[in-house]
Amino acid sequence: MKYRHVILIVVLVLVVDQALKVWIKTHMNFSDEIIVFPNWFRIHFIENDGMAYGMKFGGDFGKIILTLFRLFAVVIGFRYMKKLVAQDYSKGLLICGSLILAGAAGNLIDSLFYGMIFSSSNYSDVAQFLPPGGGYGSFLHGNVVDMLYFPILRGHFPSWFPFNAGESFVFFRPIFNVADAAISVGVITILVFQKKFFAKHHEKERAQREKEQIAVSK
């Protein structure tokens, strides 16, 4: 697998992620919902100023720190992926790494620029792209757009449950985006197949060393 393939995967994920986010921002009011498949899949527009799946981090200052950290991680990520390609790691690992990098870059774009290029989304007005009066925020202060909602299972905690006894619950409650999904798929796949991914690389290294030793001995 070549480095251009990594870039291609990143670009494809970014195009899908950003196209959906821009469409949501410019066509839906905040908290609007489109039911795709009743009872288990909906497009539900929300925004968050924190991490993946709606988690938050330290207010306005935390927002700046998180955005700068994303920027640093993406820059380092591209350099690290180039190193992995050069070292001929397995295709599976490189694809997963590309997905994680694409997801980080997708949410980084929101955080860096959305506050500058969109007006605010609210319950009664759809956001404008490049509004005359400027955006709802400044550089580094954009909110991340989320929309994918899978309330697959609804029910109530049993009365004997140690917490939230008798209260209702929804699984899966978090609302996320394509970038979050790319990160999750990449991370989970690496965790599940890490032995296979790295074993192949170690076998290649061992075979290469053996070839070099044979060449030297001749």
Catalytic residues: 146, 180
**Residue 86 CB partners (closer than 8 Å, separation 6+):** none
β-pairing, 33-37 vs 41-48, is: antiparallel
Contact 48, 58 (CB under 8 A): no
Token pair in block for residue 158: 């049993």
* Phi and psi angles of residue 201, each rounded to the nearest 5 degrees, phi first: -65, -40
205: Cβ–Cβ under 8 A, 6 or more apart, which residues? none
Name the DSSP class of 129.
Answer: B
| Cα distance between the two ends of the chain | 32
